Each structure stands twice: as structure tokens, then as C-alpha cells.
């Protein structure tokens, strides 16, 4: 039995009855990429590119960025890499793109909003990504952080395609984006739910404030309402999860039940998530999602899912 589970941890992610869920790694540096590529993942579902930009006095050049992206794509050798364009602002200020103090930086000019103010930064980043993709032949998907409206998503997708990057997507981190995912996806190829920020904005609860951890729990039924709405609106286009929720073995079952097509997580979580999926059928995962949605709060939701685990094993 143990050997069978080890074998399962080595194949692609799937439920016991064979429903595939792509298992991907979150990365933030070339080192991360090389480490993650050694794991049995189908690629990276979130390449955070901020490390290239933070703690420096001038923006990285196109050449410098091209070299880094090339190294990351080479590490994954043909596997998929979902690149998130610069997510600065809020808690991650840039010395060379200071738009002035904000009273509420988490609600300010961050993510895609900053990219639109500083189009030169986005142009250089997309140019470098297109060159690295060209040089390596990698499967490169590009997505924007902090998208709130269909107009923003369409603007970003057009910028990607103009730069020679054919697969463009939107993160879903703002409740408005989740509710209107179909409209956002009209111009995009895929969506990726960032549950960390989505929870923060859904519950009006600062994600850095430990006193609010219960509101930010991945078991909150309201969070799952938005995940379900995102998948439904996507009408079959891929919807992944790349926030903390993606790396929880029990929540991975709920995500499979919700029809999420990929989960991206810290590489250390990959084995336990795959084993968890391989132990349960899709119908059980769907029952788990229903149980979460029917719950009054996170503790009850988790307990209901654990009951269903016991029922099946
Ligand atoms: C998220 O918000 O869930 C996410 C994946 O992005 P980050 O944690 O980098 O804000
Ligand atoms: Mg985020």
C-alpha cells in the first residue's frame, strides 16, 4: 500500500478514479526553479518575478531579465511555466517607481495598476519574456496580478500578444474578478486564483495581521463560493489555484471537487497533495465541496470534510 502511494506521488496528479489535476510548484528565483524542477511536477504555476526588481535603485534591463527568465525556462526543460508579471506596490515598494505615499497601500496602485502607470516596466518585462521563450521553446504562460475588471484583463492580454506571448491570463485576487470571471476571461486563456489576496479582499482582513487568521482561513465557505463562481464563469478555460490553499492536502480535494484544473504550491507540499488526491474519487471531492459550502464557518467546514474522508477510506 505504501509503495503504491509512493508510486502515485511520482505520476501526474489525479484522483483515485483518474480525474487529472495538474500539480505545479511556486517559485521566486532561479535557484527555486532548479530545485522545483527536480520534483515530480508538471511545471511552475506561479513564478513570482519580484526578486528581479526589489531592493535596487534602478529597473533591471531587458538583457538582465532575459538571462534570468531563460535560466528558469531551461530548468523546467519544456514544462509549463506560468510567469506572473511584476507585483509591486503595497508591501513591496520600488525605489525606481515611487508613486508617492498611500494611506492604504494594499488598496492602492499595486500589481497591474502600477504596470499601467509605468508601461515602460511592463514593456521591458514582456520583451524579455518573449525573448527567453523564443530562445528556449518553453511553454510560457503569462498572467497579471491584481486584476479587478474585464477591461484591465483585456488590456493586459493585448499587451502580451503584441509582445509575442500567445498565452495570457489573469490572476483572480479581487472579489470583483471572481464574480465576473467570464467577462475577464473573454480576452484571456486562463485564470489563476491567488487565495492569499482573494481572502484578504473578500474579508476586508489584512493578510499580514495574525489576529485575523480565522477570517483568512482557507476553509472559509465564502472563499469557496468565489472559487466556484470563478470556475463556473470560466466555462472550461483552465482555472488554477496558486495561493496557500493549493498546498493543503485536504483543501486540494475540495479544489478538485470545485473543478480547479491545477494547484501550484511550495515544492515541499507536492507529495502529500498528490497522495491525498490519489486516495479519493472525484465524487467524494464534489461531496466535500458541497459540505464546505453548506457549512457555517471554517471549523465546521473542515470537520465535515474529515467526516467524508473517514467515510471513504
Ligand atoms: C496570492 O495572493 O494568493 C498570491 C499567490 O500572490 P502573493 O502571495 O504573491 O500575493
Ligand atoms: Mg497576491
Secondary structure of 270-309 in HEC code, one letter for each residue: HHHHHHHHHCCCHHHHHHHHHHHHCCCCHHHHHHHHHHHH
Residues annotated catalytic, as ranges: 242
- State yes or no: pLDDT of 72 exceeds 80: yes
Average pLDDT of span 283-297: 98
* Cα dihedral sign, 210-211-212-214: positive
48 appears as a binding residue in the annotation = yes
Of 224, 192, 196, give the one whose Cα is nearest residue 209. 196
Report if pTM > 0.80: yes
Average pLDDT of span 195-210: 97
In sequence order, what are the residues at sequence separation of 6 or more whose Cβ sits closer than 8 angstroms to the Cβ of residue 270?
9, 23, 25, 39, 40, 41
- For ligand 2, the distance from its centroid to the CA atom of residue 197, given in whole angstroms, is 5
173 appears as a binding residue in the annotation = yes
Output the pLDDT for position 239. 98
pLDDT-based confidence at residue 287 (cuts at 50, 70, 90): very high
Residue 28 Cβ contacting ligand 1 at under 6 Å: no
Q: 3-state class of 20 per DSSP?
A: strand
Residue 85 Cβ contacting ligand 1 at under 6 Å: no
pLDDT-based confidence at residue 94 (cuts at 50, 70, 90): confident
Task: State percent of the chain over pLDDT 70.
Answer: 96
Rounded CA gap, 253 and 312, in Å?
A: 13
- State yes or no: pLDDT of 90 exceeds 80: no
Residue 207 Cβ contacting ligand 1 at under 6 Å: no
Tens digit of each residue's pLDDT (9 = 90 or more) over 12-58: 999 999 999 999 999 999 999 999 999 999 999 999 999 999 889 99
Residue 72 Cβ contacting ligand 1 at under 6 Å: no
Angstrom CA distances, 239 to 63, 233, 256, 279, stand at 32, 10, 11, 23
Provide the mean pLDDT of the chain: 95
- State yes or no: pLDDT of 8 exceeds 70: no
Rounded CA gap, 21 and 252, in Å?
A: 9
Does 90 or 64 have the greater pLDDT score?
64
Q: Which three cell numbers stand for residue 310?
A: 473517514
- State yes or no: pLDDT of 59 exceeds 90: yes
Are the CB atoms for 110 and 143 separated by under 8 Å? no
Tens digit of each residue's pLDDT (9 = 90 or more) over 224-258: 999 999 999 999 999 999 999 999 999 999 999 99
pLDDT-based confidence at residue 2 (cuts at 50, 70, 90): low
Tell which one of 85, 144, 169, 196 to mutate to probe ligand 1, the residue whose CB is within 8 A of the most ligand atoms: 196
Amino acid at each position: 500500500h505504501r509503495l503504491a502511494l509512493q508510486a502515485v506521488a511520482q505520476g501526474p496528479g489525479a484522483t483515485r478514479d483518474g480525474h487529472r489535476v495538474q500539480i505545479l510548484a511556486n517559485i521566486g528565483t532561479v535557484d527555486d526553479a532548479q530545485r522545483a524542477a527536480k520534483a515530480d511536477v508538471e511545471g511552475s504555476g506561479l513564478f513570482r518575478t519580484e526578486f528581479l526588481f526589489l531592493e535596487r535603485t534602478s529597473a533591471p534591463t531587458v538583457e538582465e531579465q532575459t538571462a534570468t527568465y531563460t535560466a528558469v525556462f531551461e530548468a523546467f526543460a519544456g514544462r509549463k511555466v506560468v510567469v506572473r508579471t511584476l507585483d509591486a506596490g503595497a508591501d513591496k515598494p520600488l525605489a525606481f517607481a515611487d508613486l508617492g505615499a498611500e494611506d492604504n497601500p494594499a488598496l492602492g496602485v499595486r500589481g497591474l495598476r502600477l504596470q499601467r502607470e509605468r508601461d515602460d516596466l511592463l514593456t521591458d518585462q514582456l520583451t524579455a519574456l518573449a525573448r527567453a521563450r523564443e530562445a528556449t521553446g518553453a511553454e510560457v504562460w503569462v498572467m497579471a496580478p491584481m486584476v479587478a475588471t474585464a477591461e484591465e484583463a483585456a488590456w493586459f492580454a493585448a499587451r502580451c500578444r503584441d509582445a509575442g506571448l500567445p498565452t495570457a491570463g489573469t490572476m483572480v485576487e479581487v472579489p470583483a474578478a471572481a464574480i465576473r470571471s467570464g467577462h475577464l476571461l473573454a480576452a484571456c486563456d486562463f485564470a489563476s486564483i491567488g487565495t492569499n489576496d482573494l481572502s484578504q479582499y473578500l474579508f476586508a482582513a489584512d493578510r499580514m495581521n495574525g489576529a485575523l487568521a480565522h477570517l483568512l482561513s482557507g476553509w472559509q465557505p465564502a472563499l469557496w463560493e468565489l472559487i466556484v463562481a470563478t470556475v463556473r464563469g470560466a466555462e472550461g478555460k483552465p482555472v488554477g489555484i496558486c495561493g496557500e490553499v493549493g498546498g493543503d492536502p485536504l483543501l486540494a480535494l475540495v479544489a478538485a471537487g470545485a473543478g480547479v484544473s491545477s494547484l501550484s504550491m511550495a515544492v515541499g507540499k507536492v507529495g502529500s497533495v498528490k497522495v491525498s488526491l490519489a486516495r479519493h474519487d472525484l465524487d467524494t471531492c464534489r461531496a466535500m465541496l458541497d459540505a464546505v459550502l453548506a457549512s457555517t464557518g471554517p471549523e465546521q467546514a473542515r470537520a465535515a470534510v474529515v467526516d467524508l474522508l473517514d467515510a471513504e477510506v
